[in-house]
Amino acid sequence: MRGGSLTNSITNRQMFFIIYFTLTTYSTIDLPKIMSQTAGRSSWIPIMAASVLFGGVAVIITKLNNMYQGKVLFDYSSEIIGKFPARLIAMYYMLVFLAVSIYLNLKLIGVLRANFLPQTPRCIMLLLGIMLFGYVAYKGITNVARMFEIAGVLFLIVTVGLCAAMISQGMLYNIMPFFNITETKGFTAAFKGLASPYAGLDVLFVIPFTSKNKNAPRAAFFTLLFIGLFYVLLVESTVMILGINNTIAFNDSFIEAIKIVELIIVERTDIFYLTFGLTSLFAGVIFVNTVAVELACKFVPKVKRHIVVIIIGIVLFILCLFAMDKTDIREEFEALSPLLVLISVILIPTLLFIIAKVKRRRRL
Amino acid sequence: MKHRKLYSVISVFILLAAFLSGCGDSKDINDQLIATTIIFDYKDGEIWYYLEIANIETGNNKESGTSANKYIVRKGNGKTLTEVRDDLDAHLDKPLYLSGIRTLIFTESFARKHLVEYLYRYRADEGYRKKGLTVITKEDPEELYKSAHEQNTSTGLLAEGIVKTLDESGKSFLRTTIRLIENLSAEYTGILIPCIGFHDKELAVIGYSVISGSDVVGLLPAPESRGTMFLKADKAKFYYSVPYNEVNYAIEVRVKKKRIKPTYEEGKISFSIKMDCIAELGYGDKKTPYNLNKAALDEISETLAATLEQEISDAVKRAQTEFACDYLQFDDIFRVKFPVEFERMDWGKEFPQVGASVDVKVKLSTKWGMDYSAGEAK
């Protein structure tokens, strides 16, 4: 099958939707709760600060990819730091993507079970899901990116539309004052809480850039700023309609806020949202799975792609079955995510970028 | 080619499985008890619940669709809310569907004891419809049901309709239960909850129960609540009768713009309430012509403005003195402007001392097509 890197190329617009879907998947539903309990009504400040910080990281990753066009992390990291450390880094990312995939699969099953399929056994949903995601992963990044372009527009329109309805029906004083000096002491905790919503940028490492991606660093930076604004919209609209105390009390505060919105035709606004919101969760799982398959294919280039897909699917299924019995998997993942994000999204890309730059200068 | 076939088979299998799982998880509406209203009462040291359930079977059988059995009322009791739920569960022949509840109704005695506990339970229970309303009553729950069922409607729907209609006509305000819970969860709590009861044998909003902290501290009767509604309703609209030159003029007054600004100087809190109103002179109680010139209209406007200022000032004073409860939500207005100072103070102690100045401007016009001008038909 299409194993060549260049067949996995994407446009900048597709990159926008890949980043958008992968990042928003992690915590759209509970972001308002996390932010309200740490930074209160001043949440927009750490959110936007984080989006600028991660925008910088996105610039570093895209610049690295542009320095080695047609190659992915697995290939160019050997040139930067040598074969063995490069393999270690690739292995590390592989494990991270598998861990994230487990978390997202379980989260998806949780949402499906709570809202649509209360009696279907979780392992059946898991099996069907992994088979579907495996099939999509087999098709490769370019096809997934094309699908994201269509699904992304729908998801964006529905979510922003609902947020607008929430704002029009909410109370302005719930989100005011926009800045309270006493809330700044919660900003450190807020930054920790923002690790998950901004995790996932490292998927860019598995996408080979081409001449089409010349302006990718600028596009990636503005994508992160856009995501920051999107998060601010989610948090503010939820707090406006629920109030700050209710937002903290509900685990899935965004869904609870949507339930209160009155639309002319739709009575069950939550089901309406979830129909589209699930695309985000599906898209996130699909992309993380695809990325894990891409990385695995690099490790075993002689093994056919569909065999890799099947093996990853089986491993994922077994690991998910084990994780399913752990009731605190969500808390454990969230506790671990700041460290994962620090290493995977900030430290490794920055170090690789610095070393690559220094090596290039020496060559000159 | 071989693989394509394999994946096609897998795709069809997935699609079929997905559809089948949907069927497996479906629940027929006839297999659930759809609750439409719940009333809680507290008497003789016990909590009593009166659950109104829609009788769907009646709807299926056209011949037996009488008003009396369109709804079934199930009642029971317990010492605690958990005991009440256990009692309810023990008597159900089908699972209960709570998302159909339009209105929660508490008797005053129940609200005094269990308002906070029940509303927190409501928030924690995913089954409840969060857009629902909450009202308080002083009436006997069974009488409330009897009155609504005689009109062939659900008590919850009726109560919701009454409160919503008042809100739409500008004579009251609408607060969802989730908004009440937000107020209850805040450090300072002052709330008004519509109180329904019988007025000329018909169900109506007879006033507003005042909740301070977690207790019901009094009732603001509806006829005396006009000033308060000008402060609380989104688009307050009332009719006034203003006497001028032996004619009583009926005037519709609407709030166009409302600004409430707090100041905090040398430890003293004050609120400046400014309101721009649009008034429309409808008719008089004597034969036309009324010979109303501009000077006359200005005089009527001033009289009206003075009346409104007095009513609004009285509403603020009443909240401060009679109830010592800030149900006017001045706390939120102050918190927005002075968040740090607000966090340091006990608003419950501050509110009775706050100053308030009221300035109302009325722009009066007359209805087209009637002769109110000096001898000339408009």
Domains and CATH numbers, chain B: 2-223 (no CATH), 228-366 (3.30.300.210)
Distance (Å) from the alpha carbon of A127 to chain B's nearest alpha carbon: 10
pLDDT (0 to 100) of residue A281: 80
Distance (Å) from the alpha carbon of A235 to chain B's nearest alpha carbon: 16
Of A119, A171, A250, the CB nearest to B25: A119
Q: How far apart, in whole angstroms, are the C-alpha atoms of residue A272 and residue A266?
A: 7
% chain A with pLDDT above 70: 97
pLDDT (0 to 100) of residue B92: 86
- Of A21-30, A41-50, B39-48, B204-213, least confident by mean pLDDT is A21-30
Q: Is B352 exposed, middle or buried (0-12, 13-18, 19+ CB in 10 A)?
A: middle
Distance in Å from the first CA to the final CA of chain B:
86
Among candidate residues A225, A190, A269, A211, the one with its CA nearest the CA of residue A19: A225
> Average pLDDT for residues A27-34, to the nearest whole number?
86
Q: How far apart, in whole angstroms, are the C-alpha atoms of residue A151 and residue A139?
A: 17
Structure tokens at A162: 């609902």
| pLDDT reading at A327 higher than 80 | no
SS3 of residue B48 by DSSP: strand
B47 versus A113: which is more confidently predicted? Answer: B47
User: Between A122-139 and A83-115, two packed helices, what is the crossing angle to 10 degrees?
Assistant: 130
Q: Does A260 touch chain B (CB under 8 A)?
A: yes
Banded model confidence at residue A2, pLDDT cuts 50, 70, 90: very low
Among candidate residues B186, B347, B177, the one with its CA nearest the CA of residue A248: B186
- Counting one residue from chain A and one from chain B, the pairs whose CB atoms sit within 8 A come to 73
Q: How far apart, in whole angstroms, are the C-alpha atoms of residue B277 and residue B260?
A: 14
Output DSSP code: residue A140. -
pLDDT (0 to 100) of residue B249: 92
> Average pLDDT for residues A93-109, to the nearest whole number?
89
B69 versus B219: which is more confidently predicted? Answer: B219
Output DSSP code: residue B246. T
| pLDDT reading at A5 higher than 50 | no
Structure tokens at B57: 């079977």
Q: How far apart, in whole angstroms, are the C-alpha atoms of residue B221 and residue B198?
A: 13
pLDDT (0 to 100) of residue A6: 47
* CA dihedral (A142, A146, A147, A151) positive or negative: positive
pLDDT (0 to 100) of residue A339: 92
| pLDDT reading at A319 higher than 50 | yes
User: φ, ψ for residue B219 (rounded to 5)?
Assistant: -130, 130
Of B181, B183, B339, the CB nearest to A180: B339
Distance (Å) from the alpha carbon of B247 to chain A's nearest alpha carbon: 43
Cβ pair A117:B22 closer than 8 A: yes
SS3 of residue A129 by DSSP: helix
**3-class secondary structure per residue, B10-39:** HHHHHHHHHHHHHHHHCCCHHHCEEEEEEE
Q: How far apart, in whole angstroms, are the C-alpha atoms of residue A5 and residue A71?
A: 7
| pLDDT reading at A83 higher than 80 | yes
Distance (Å) from the alpha carbon of A55 to chain B's nearest alpha carbon: 32
Cβ pair A245:B186 closer than 8 A: yes
Tell me how far CA of residue A310 lies from CA of A54, A306, A323, B174, in angstroms: 34, 6, 20, 57
Q: Does A307 touch chain B (CB under 8 A)?
A: no
Structure tokens at A260: 């209160």
Among candidate residues A136, A139, A168, A331, the one with its CA nearest the CA of residue A260: A168
> Average pLDDT for residues A23-32, to the nearest whole number?
81
Among candidate residues B48, B37, B177, B196, the one with its CA nearest the CA of residue B110: B48
Banded model confidence at residue B359, pLDDT cuts 50, 70, 90: very high
* Interface subset of B 150-189, CB within 8 angstroms of A: 176, 178-179, 181-183, 185-186
| pLDDT reading at A141 higher than 60 | yes
Q: How far apart, in whole angstroms, are the C-alpha atoms of residue B298 and residue B311?
A: 20
SS3 of residue B293 by DSSP: coil
Summarize pLDDT for B257-273 with one digit per residue, the tens: 999 999 999 999 999 99
Contacts with B186 from chain A: Cβ below 8 Å: 243, 245
Cβ pair A246:B185 closer than 8 A: yes
Q: How far apart, in whole angstroms, are the C-alpha atoms of residue A334 and residue A328?
A: 10
Output DSSP code: residue B189. -
| pLDDT reading at B1 higher than 70 | no
% chain B with pLDDT above 70: 88
User: φ, ψ for residue B284 (rounded to 5)?
Assistant: -115, 170
- Of A121-135, A180-194, A232-246, B155-169, least confident by mean pLDDT is A121-135
User: pTM for this structure?
Assistant: 0.88
pLDDT (0 to 100) of residue A3: 43
Banded model confidence at residue B25, pLDDT cuts 50, 70, 90: low
Among candidate residues B176, B50, B360, B37, the one with its CA nearest the CA of residue A262: B176
| pLDDT reading at B221 higher than 80 | yes
Structure tokens at B25: 């998880």
Of A125, A243, A306, the CB nearest to B182: A243
Cβ atoms A284, A23 nearer than 8 A: no
Q: Give CA B150 to chain center in angstroms.
A: 24
Question: Maximum distance among all alpha carbons in chain B?
Answer: 99
Beta bridge partners of B196: B137, B205
Strand-strand pairing, B103-107 and B33-43 = parallel
pLDDT (0 to 100) of residue A364: 65
The stretches of chain B forming alpha helices (DSSP H) are: 2-25, 56-60, 81-90, 108-124, 141-150, 155-168, 177-185, 226-232, 294-321, 330-337, 339-344, 347-350
Q: Does B15 touch chain A (CB under 8 A)?
A: no
Banded model confidence at residue A110, pLDDT cuts 50, 70, 90: confident
pLDDT (0 to 100) of residue A360: 84
| pLDDT reading at B8 higher than 80 | no
- Of A7-11, A81-85, B166-170, least confident by mean pLDDT is A7-11
pLDDT (0 to 100) of residue B69: 75
Q: How far apart, in whole angstroms, are the C-alpha atoms of residue B175 and residue B193?
A: 8
Token pair 């308060």 is found at B228
| pLDDT reading at A241 higher than 60 | yes
Distance (Å) from the alpha carbon of A262 to chain B's nearest alpha carbon: 8
> Average pLDDT for residues A113-138, to the nearest whole number?
86
A248 versus A279: which is more confidently predicted? Answer: A248
| Radius of gyration (C-alpha) of chain B in whole angstroms | 27
Q: How many helices (H) and strands (E) does chain A have?
A: 15, 0
pLDDT (0 to 100) of residue B314: 97
Summarize pLDDT for B222-235 with one digit per residue, the tens: 999 999 999 999 88
Q: How far apart, in whole angstroms, are the C-alpha atoms of residue A51 and residue A48?
A: 5
- Compute the mean pLDDT over every residue in chain B, rounded to the nearest whole number: 88
Residue of A nearest to B329 (CA): A173
Distance in Å from the first CA to the final CA of chain A:
39
SS3 of residue B218 by DSSP: strand
